[in-house]
């Protein structure tokens, strides 16, 4: 796909794929609402999502970026992404309140959405979108439990939780369209975005998801992460990209 050959079918395909990637959080919320998961199961699902994201970051982002800009530029962009999202996360935590919580949830999806936008511009984006979509199911399950504790700005309000999730789910669609319209053919820029996004994802994983999943030393979350990584690797190698 090139900028000159983008048609209505291409745009609809991008919207459909990115809507899936962002919208599966709703499926996670629905499943969590209907199913009484134990704490161990939620931790295992969180670790599973972390394993999926590790595969996505390594095989669909870092390796792809290194092909275009080389190892040193990839490493610097990766580190830069981690620093950028660290600063953004600190700002979100200091802000506090409902806006801070919403900003924090949104920050989790931004590096993933940036990567989807860049992948769409470079061509092979289906595998990455599938991985993000699968991960968002587990994230929706865990997020629902957190939002419904009564200790957050959502105050057990399911409508508020769905509204917040809806806002966040739009991000991949917007960035996907930005990618297809403005980044197509810009291989080096795409590579930098992929590496930067991977750094942001690794920050998020090691600051939030992995510590949360392993807050108690149990084997189930560990094998959840292993399973997530294996499935992620298989999807990338099977689907491509």
Per-residue pLDDT tens over the stretch 209-230: 888 787 777 778 889 999 999 9
CA angle 98, 135, 197 (to 5 degrees): 75
pLDDT in tens, 84-120: 988 888 877 776 544 545 555 566 677 888 888 888 7
Burial class (CB in 10 A: 0-12, 13-18, 19+), 95: middle
pTM, to two decimals: 0.84
Distance (Å, whole) CA 27 – CA 228: 18
Distance (Å, whole) CA 178 – CA 239: 23
Distance (Å, whole) CA 11 – CA 176: 9
Distance (Å, whole) CA 32 – CA 46: 13
Distance (Å, whole) CA 169 – CA 173: 8
Counting the structural domains of the chain, the total is: 1
Domain that holds residue 143: 3-239
Distance (Å, whole) CA 23 – CA 176: 14
Among 65, 69, 114, residue whose Cα is nearest residue 88 = 114
pLDDT in tens, 165-188: 777 788 888 888 888 888 888 889
């Amino acid at each position: 796909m090139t900028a000159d050959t983008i048609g209505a079918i291409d745009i609809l395909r991008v919207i459909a794929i990115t809507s899936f990637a962002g919208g599966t959080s709703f499926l996670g919320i629905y499943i969590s609402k209907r199913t009484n998961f134990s704490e161990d199961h939620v931790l295992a699902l969180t670790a599973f999502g972390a394993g999926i994201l590790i595969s996505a970051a390594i095989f669909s982002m870092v390796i792809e970026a290194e092909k275009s800009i080389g190892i040193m530029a990839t490493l610097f962009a990766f580190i830069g992404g981690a620093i950028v999202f660290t600063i953004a996360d600190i700002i979100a935590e200091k802000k506090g309140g409902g806006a801070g919580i919403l900003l924090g949830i949104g920050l989790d999806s931004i590096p993933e959405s940036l990567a989807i936008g860049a992948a769409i511009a470079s061509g092979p984006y289906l595998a990455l979108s599938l991985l993000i979509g699968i991960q968002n199911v587990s994230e929706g399950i865990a997020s629902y439990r957190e939002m419904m504790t009564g200790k957050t700005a959502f105050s057990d309000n399911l409508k508020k939780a769905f509204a917040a999730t809806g806002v966040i789910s739009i991000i991949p669609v917007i960035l996907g369209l930005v990618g297809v319209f403005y980044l197509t053919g810009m291989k080096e820029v795409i590579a930098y975005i992929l590496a930067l996004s991977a750094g942001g994802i690794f920050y998020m994983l090691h600051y939030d998801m992995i510590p949360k999943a392993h807050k108690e030393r149990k084997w189930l979350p560990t094998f959840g992460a292993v399973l997530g990584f294996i499935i992620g690797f298989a999807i990338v190698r099977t689907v491509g990209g």
